[in-house]
């Protein structure tokens, strides 16, 4: 069953989906993105990161096209889980030029919008099951 998706949720879906394509591009074209400042070649970590992000990104596109609330809910949970791991990893290994800006980006562009989307989608999933 197709779920009605309000404009604000489309914005959140775009915020959650675009980095899934932009990140792999950066990882595969700029070795320092994943390998650190001294990296000169693309590593296996960049390929794994790219594969994971592209898989979730394409799944987001399919779920958006189908307007499937359960699928979008699960994908946002997966995205939130990976972001909760990515932020501390980036900070721990010193891969951020500006830690404050990086924390702001994750909090205001990923975590908070994801929580609003999860709350809305959870309501839609509950309505569909009752």
pLDDT tens per residue across span 52-67: 999 999 999 999 999 9
Q: What percent of the chain has pLDDT over 90?
A: 65
For residue 92, being part of any structural domain is answered with yes
Q: Decide: 127 and 69 in contact? Cβ < 8 Å.
A: no
Structural domain that includes position 62 = 7-129
Tell me the C-alpha distance between 53 and 59, whole Å: 10
Tell me the C-alpha distance between 86 and 106, whole Å: 9
For residue 1, being part of any structural domain is answered with no
What local confidence, expressed as pLDDT, does residue 3 receive? 84
**Number of structural domains the chain divides into:** 1
Tell me: pLDDT of 76 over 90: yes
For residue 58, being part of any structural domain is answered with yes
Tell me the C-alpha distance between 100 and 7, whole Å: 29
How many CB atoms lie under 10 A from the CB of residue 64?
19
For residue 18, being part of any structural domain is answered with yes
For residue 76, being part of any structural domain is answered with yes
For residue 33, being part of any structural domain is answered with yes
For residue 2, being part of any structural domain is answered with no
Q: Tell me the pTM.
A: 0.85
For residue 122, being part of any structural domain is answered with yes
What local confidence, expressed as pLDDT, does residue 35 receive? 73
Q: Decide: 33 and 46 in contact? Cβ < 8 Å.
A: yes
pLDDT-derived band at 33 (thresholds 50, 70, 90) equals: confident
- What is the C-alpha end-to-end distance of the chain, expressed in Å? 13
Tell me the C-alpha distance between 95 and 91, whole Å: 6
């Amino acid at each position: 069953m197709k779920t009605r998706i309000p404009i604000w949720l489309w914005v959140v879906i775009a915020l959650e989906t675009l980095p899934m394509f932009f990140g792999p591009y950066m990882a595969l074209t700029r070795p320092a993105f994943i390998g650190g400042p001294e990296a000169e070649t693309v590593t296996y970590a960049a390929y794994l990161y790219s594969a994971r992000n592209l898989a979730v990104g394409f799944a987001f596109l399919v779920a958006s096209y189908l307007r499937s609330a359960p699928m979008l809910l699960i994908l946002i949970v997966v995205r939130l889980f990976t972001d909760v791991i990515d932020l501390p990893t980036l900070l721990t290994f010193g891969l951020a030029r500006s830690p404050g800006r990086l924390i702001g980006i994750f909090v205001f562009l990923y975590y908070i919008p994801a929580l609003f989307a999860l709350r809305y989608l959870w309501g839609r999933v509950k309505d569909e099951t009752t």
